[in-house]
């Protein structure tokens, strides 16, 4: 009997991995997502009932769940160098000339070069021992990186095993096998992730999203973000003289995704043809690629040619220049945000740019319109910032037509007709009709439901538009009084969808006190300020009764923020909303104070800038709070510590100017 169960489990594993390969690598799925999930659930149940059947390379190990407090540093067997970049074919010709000279010194070897698409992702190294995935690490500083094995296991295109009857392993040696490549995110998965986050917390591009995801401590959250891995480097062969092109082919046989769009080029002309061919074709790909990588095919010469302090001499990356286009600004429309902010948006004559048709671009505010000097009917130059977000760069003045007209500030709100106002010392105009303006209500509901607030994941924009449009929801408190029959009458809302929304609303009742404060959407109250308020006040009722001067005494809250908080609770509807939320079962108060983990940050106000590699911002903040510290939102002379991650912003410069202590992520981790 036991043997039969073991064979059943093994057959299930093989079947699931086969469908994984068909879906993620060959793009030829044979079954639906539902049928695949049923197979996986069957294997999960079998392994749960018979734990002895669980093996390290089971597909069930991809769902994540491991919590990693730290990411230990690991040394790379060979340095992971970054490639030198070039932006012109003339520089590619110079590279080929240098390569030819070096090769002539080595006896006139072949100059065959492999051209590959350059994936815009995050470089990692995978180490296989006895055929099983043993360790996965980031590039780090090139000499050593962080061990992120638990997170890499969740990626479907990272094989958990590279031996077995399905693969010809005669070329592999008996020792460790190392595979290097890039972790990336498909455009549709990136958009889905960003749509689930509040506007101010969205990732700029898929690469940033990937880098942040790889360092999350909860691998089950990593699994949800659906990243991919593309392999482009293989070491550990019996015959280390095998050329690079054949290694890429072997990687495919071993079950790795290579992108498939690599080509052997025998001269500069063929290299130029490959680069030119993909300058347009790349926009049709489902992922971001920003260039072409060229590598000498003869791997035997890689070590002999060596490297500079940063880059190998046997490879180079050609990066495509940012694409620009010229079009006509046909009209400017005005969007109203959740705080009533008026944002001018340019409606453009549709134009193809970077693989998609662009017809809109934000103009941010009226000061930006003045800086650009742009007028309606102007010809403008647009560019995709980071190849994702369209942006107007300039006006083509020598093509300005006679019928241009200025972009005037509207007198009334385009949503509710209320007269607009412009506060003193601010660049933006606002609609003051907070309670009745449909656009502001929609914005507040979406903010309330966002990931860092109440995290009501099933409450998307289309559904909110319906709820507000039909006046079923006039403020966020109304969400908790929705009934299933009401929801089922909405478009695209069957019984199951209605139940899912009601369940998500029910689960949101238990969110932490600081999230509840942040979810209210008070002007100037971000996550850090909400945490300070949650520490300073035991409940929302206490905060609502507090005076402006009292609130200003809370750490990191000055008079402007204090006035905004006081005005919010003094305004019409705030008390009514709190009553609705309380009656709906939200406690609106903080928990009993928990014992500190230690007092290593006691009395220290901390601010983070840039991207941390080991923690997301929320987790890093929690670690400080658990050790007696405080999280602040802006740098001042009273700030105790600035933790600087990758690509820090203006806060770093301000901290140095004020003499505030700045530490690295490694120093921060040591302080914990």
Residue at 500 is within a domain: yes
Q: How far is the C-alpha of 369 from the C-alpha of 346, rounded, in Å?
A: 10
Of 317, 334, 362, which residue is a domain's last?
A: 317
User: Which pLDDT value is given to residue 20?
Assistant: 74
Same domain, 157 and 306: yes
Closest C-alpha to 123, from 49, 27, 229, 219: 229
Q: Give 493-504 pLDDT, tens digit per residue.
A: 889 889 999 999
- Which residue range(s) make up the domain with 38? 2-62
Mean pLDDT of the 394-406 span: 94
Mean pLDDT of the 25-43 span: 73
Closest C-alpha to 569, from 549, 600, 546, 590: 546
Query: Is pLDDT at 305 greater than 90 in this prediction?
Result: no
Mean pLDDT of the 379-396 span: 82
Neighbours of 385 (CB within 10 A): 14
Q: What CATH number did the domain enclosing 53 receive?
A: 1.10.287.610
User: Which pLDDT value is given to residue 167?
Assistant: 45
Q: How far is the C-alpha of 441 from the C-alpha of 654, rounded, in Å?
A: 36
Residue at 371 is within a domain: no
Of 297, 317, 337, which residue is a domain's last?
A: 317
Render 90-121 in DSSP notation, one character per residue.
Answer: HHHHHHHHHHHHHHHHTTS----EEEEEEE-S
More confident call, 174 vs 631: 631
Phi, psi of 547 (to 5 degrees): -80, 165
Q: Residue 478 is encoded by which pair of tokens?
A: 């109304």
Q: How far is CA 526 from CA 434, 447, 633, 667, in A?
A: 19, 12, 8, 26
Query: Is pLDDT at 531 greater than 90 in this prediction?
Result: no
Q: What is the DSSP letter of 343?
A: E
Residue at 594 is within a domain: no
Same domain, 222 and 254: yes
Res. 130 pLDDT band, cuts 50 70 90: confident
Closest C-alpha to 668, from 620, 634, 625: 620
Relative to beta strand 605-609, strand 641-644 is parallel
Res. 165 pLDDT band, cuts 50 70 90: very low
Same domain, 469 and 613: no
Same domain, 555 and 447: yes
Res. 166 pLDDT band, cuts 50 70 90: very low
Same domain, 295 and 175: yes
Same domain, 570 and 618: no
Same domain, 241 and 127: yes
Q: What CATH number did the domain enclosing 282 receive?
A: 3.30.470.30
E-state strands within 401-538: none
Q: What CATH number did the domain enclosing 539 receive?
A: 1.10.150.20
Residue at 472 is within a domain: yes
Q: Give 49-87 pLDDT, tens digit per residue.
A: 777 777 776 777 666 555 555 678 888 988 898 888 888
Residue at 389 is within a domain: no
What is the H or E stretch that residue 231 is in?
strand 228-235
Query: By CB neighbour count within 10 A (0-12 exposed, 13-18 middle, 19+ buried), where does 359 fall?
Result: middle
Res. 263 pLDDT band, cuts 50 70 90: very high
Closest C-alpha to 296, from 322, 266, 252: 266
Q: What CATH number did the domain enclosing 651 receive?
A: 3.40.50.10190
Same domain, 516 and 640: no
More confident call, 409 vs 384: 409
Query: Is pLDDT at 163 greater than 70 in this prediction?
Result: no
Count of domains observed in the chain: 4
Same domain, 264 and 126: yes
Q: Give 83-120 pLDDT, tens digit per residue.
A: 888 888 899 999 998 888 877 877 666 789 999 999 98
What is the H or E stretch that residue 291 is in?
strand 289-296
User: Which pLDDT value is given to residue 322?
Assistant: 76
Same domain, 129 and 249: yes
Of 259, 284, 317, which residue is a domain's last?
A: 317
Residue at 592 is within a domain: no
Phi, psi of 461 (to 5 degrees): -60, -45
487 and 590 Cβ atoms separated by less than 8 Å: no
Residue at 402 is within a domain: no
More confident call, 636 vs 369: 369
Same domain, 567 and 624: no
Q: What is the DSSP letter of 48?
A: H
Question: Is residue 118 flagged as an active site residue?
Answer: yes
User: Could you say which of 28, 101, 118, 580 is catalytic?
Assistant: 118
Mean pLDDT of the 410-416 span: 95
Mean pLDDT of the 427-434 span: 92
The pLDDT > 90 percentage for the chain reads: 41
Residue at 596 is within a domain: no
Same domain, 614 and 520: no
Q: Give 168-199 pLDDT, tens digit per residue.
A: 555 666 678 999 999 999 988 888 887 766 55
């Amino acid at each position: 009997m036991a043997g039969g169960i073991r064979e059943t489990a093994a057959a299930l594993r093989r079947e699931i991995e086969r469908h994984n390969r068909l879906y993620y690598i060959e793009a030829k799925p044979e079954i639906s997502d539902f049928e695949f999930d049923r197979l996986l659930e069957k294997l999960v149940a079998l392994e749960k009932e018979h734990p002895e059947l669980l093996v390290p390379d089971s597909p069930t190990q991809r769902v994540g769940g491991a919590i990693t407090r730290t990411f230990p540093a690991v040394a790379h067997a060979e340095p992971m160098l970054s490639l030198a970049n070039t932006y012109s074919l003339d520089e590619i010709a110079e590279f080929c000339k240098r390569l030819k000279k070096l090769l002539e010194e080595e006896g006139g070897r072949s100059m065959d070069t492999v051209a590959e698409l350059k994936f815009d992702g995050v470089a990692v190294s995978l180490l296989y021992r006895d055929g099983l995935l043993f360790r996965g690490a980031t590039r780090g500083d090139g000499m050593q990186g962080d061990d992120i094995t638990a997170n890499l296991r969740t990626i479907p295109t990272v094989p958990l095993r590279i031996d077995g009857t399905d693969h010809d392993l005669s070329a592999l040696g008996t020792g460790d096998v190392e595979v290097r490549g890039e972790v990336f995110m498909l455009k549709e998965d990136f958009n889905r992730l960003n749509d689930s986050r509040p506007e101010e917390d969205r990732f700029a591009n898929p690469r940033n999203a990937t880098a942040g995801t790889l360092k999350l401590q909860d691998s089950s959250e990593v699994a949800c973000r659906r990243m991919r891995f593309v392999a482009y480097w293989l070491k550990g062969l019996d015959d280390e003289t095998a050329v690079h092109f054949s290694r890429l082919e072997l990687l495919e046989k071993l079950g790795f995704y290579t992108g498939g769009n690599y080509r052997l080029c025998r001269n500069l002309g063929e290299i130029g043809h490959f680069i030119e061919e993909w300058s347009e074709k790349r926009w049709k790909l489902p992922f971001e690629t920003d260039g072409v990588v060229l590598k000498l095919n003869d791997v035997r010469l890689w070590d002999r040619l060596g490297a500079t302090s940063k880059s190998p001499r046997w490879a180079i990356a050609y990066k495509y220049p940012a694409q620009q286009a010229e079009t006509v600004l046909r009209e400017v429309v005005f969007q109203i945000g959740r705080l009533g902010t008026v944002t001018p948006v340019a409606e453009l004559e549709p134009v193809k740019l970077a693989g998609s048709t662009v017809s809109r671009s934000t103009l941010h505010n009226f000061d930006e319109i003045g800086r650009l000097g742009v007028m309606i009917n102007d010809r403008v130059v647009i560019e995709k910032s980071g190849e994702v977000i369209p942006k107007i760069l300039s006006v083509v003045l020598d093509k300005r037509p006679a019928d241009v007209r200025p972009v005037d500030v509207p007198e009334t709100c385009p949503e509710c007709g209320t007269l607009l106002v412009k506060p003193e010392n601010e660049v933006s105009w606002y609609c003051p009709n907070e309670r009745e303006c449909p656009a502001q209500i929609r914005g507040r509901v979406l903010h309330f439901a966002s990931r860092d607030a109440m995290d009501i994941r099933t409450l998307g924009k289309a559904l909110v538009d319906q709820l507000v449009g039909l006046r079923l929801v006039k403020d966020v408190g109304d969400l908790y009084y929705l009934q299933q029959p009401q929801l089922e009458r909405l478009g695209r809302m069957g019984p199951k969808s209605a139940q899912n929304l009601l369940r998500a609303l029910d689960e949101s009742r238990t969110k932490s006190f600081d999230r509840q404060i942040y979810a209210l959407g008070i002007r100037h109250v971000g996550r850090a300020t909400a945490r300070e308020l949650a520490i300073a006040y035991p409940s929302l009722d206490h905060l609502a009764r507090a005076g402006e001067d009292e609130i200003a005494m809370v750490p990191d809250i000055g008079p402007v923020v204090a006035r905004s908080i006081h005005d919010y609770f003094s305004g019409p509807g705030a008390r009514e909303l709190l009553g609705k939320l309380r009656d709906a079962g939200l406690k609106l108060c903080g928990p009993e104070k928990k014992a500190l983990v230690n007092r290593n940050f006691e009395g220290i106000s901390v601010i983070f800038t840039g991207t941390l590699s080991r923690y997301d911002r929320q987790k890093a903040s929690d670690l400080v709070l658990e050790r007696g510290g405080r999280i602040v939102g802006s740098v001042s002379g009273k700030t105790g510590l600035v933790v600087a991650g990758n690509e820090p912003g203006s806060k770093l410069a301000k901290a140095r100017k004020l003499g505030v202590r700045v530490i690295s992520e490694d120093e921060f981790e040591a302080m914990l």
